[in-house]
Amino acid sequence: MTAGTASKAARLLGVSQPAISQSIRKLEALAGLRLFERVRGRLQPTQEAMALMSEVDRYFIGYEAIEHRIRSLRLFGLGRLSIASYPALGNCFLARAIASFAPEQRKMQMMLQVTSSKEVYQHVASGQVDFGLLNDEVNTHGVESSSFSVLPGVIAMSPHHPLRNKRTLQLEDLATDHFIDMNPEDSARRRLETALTERQVQLRSIVETPLSATACELALSGIGLAMVHPIAALDFVPKGLVIRRLSMDIECRTLLAFRPGRPISENGKEFLRCLRMQLEKETEQVNLALDRKAR
């Protein structure tokens, strides 16, 4: 299913191709299901195989989490902290927070995974990480979650944009140029769309991207306007990106997620304090950038 062909699967497992074919026949006989169709000498997975594969994937996530934890304990004992984050905060904000935390002085190792909010949730739920930061677009059923930050999205633009000298933008201003959208599942985008519909404002979407960093780069390049997470935008201000307030707050919400019944270590608690201090510091920097006049 993952290799695509029986011959590739055989090479990955270090067995012969006939052994793969025999294993498939045994599994089909045991399950009483036809898992693959034989089409011109190739194996095509059936709908039953697809459904079974989703269960297999969940099993291996748990299995890999156990292996990962064993390796971690063997190499570092309990002096290790694992975090997963969605890109808006994971790409640069968390790097600065980790530098401030100074794990080398604490004689500990940290692991940071930057991935989608959905995968952050899966990592937390399976116990692969100590905690995660994710967008509120994800249903957090099955894990403990609380609010980490609620910040109004900012409008990003190039330093030469006609709107650069307006301190606060109206929703109608967003329709004066092309617009760079976040993905449809992004909750801040959905809140913006609701506000636009109520005001009967139609945007001219030109690019769609899942990453605030990409949206900032596109806006900086003059492609159009974008509404982005303010902390993600902060990294592009030194490059010339101009950010402005919107007349109504469209919230970018970040959740902090833990696995239920799993106590946070002292190192984890200390790092969470460091995270909140870093957030406060960077929120102040965002406000300064919002008030700064464009050149």
- pLDDT at position 95: 94
- pLDDT at position 2: 81
- pLDDT at position 223: 97
11's CB contacts (< 8 A; 6+ apart) are none
Least Cα distance to 69 among 136, 130, 158 occurs for: 130
Burial per residue of 123-153, b for 16 or more beta-carbon CB atoms within 10 angstroms, e otherwise = bbbbbbbbbbbbbbbbebeebebeebbebbb
Do 86 and 129 contact (CB within 8 A), yes or no?
Answer: no
- pLDDT at position 59: 75
DSSP class of residue 137?
A: T
Q: Considering Cα of 263, then 265, then 266, then 271, what sign does the dihedral take?
A: negative
Edge-first strand listing for the sheet containing 225-228: 168-169, 242-246, 154-157, 225-228, 178-182, 204-209
Strands 168-169 and 242-246, sheet pairing = parallel
CA 106 → CA 81, 232, 266, distances in Å?
11, 28, 12
Mean pLDDT in consecutive groups of 10 residues from the start of the chain, 295 residues: 86 90 90 86 85 80 68 59 95 94 87 94 91 94 94 96 94 96 94 95 95 96 97 96 96 94 86 96 95 71
Query: Domains plus CATH for the chain?
Result: 6-56 (1.10.10.10), 60-148+254-281 (3.40.190.10), 151-253+286-291 (3.40.190.10)
- pLDDT at position 258: 93
For the question of whether the overall pTM of this predicted structure is more than 0.85, the answer is no
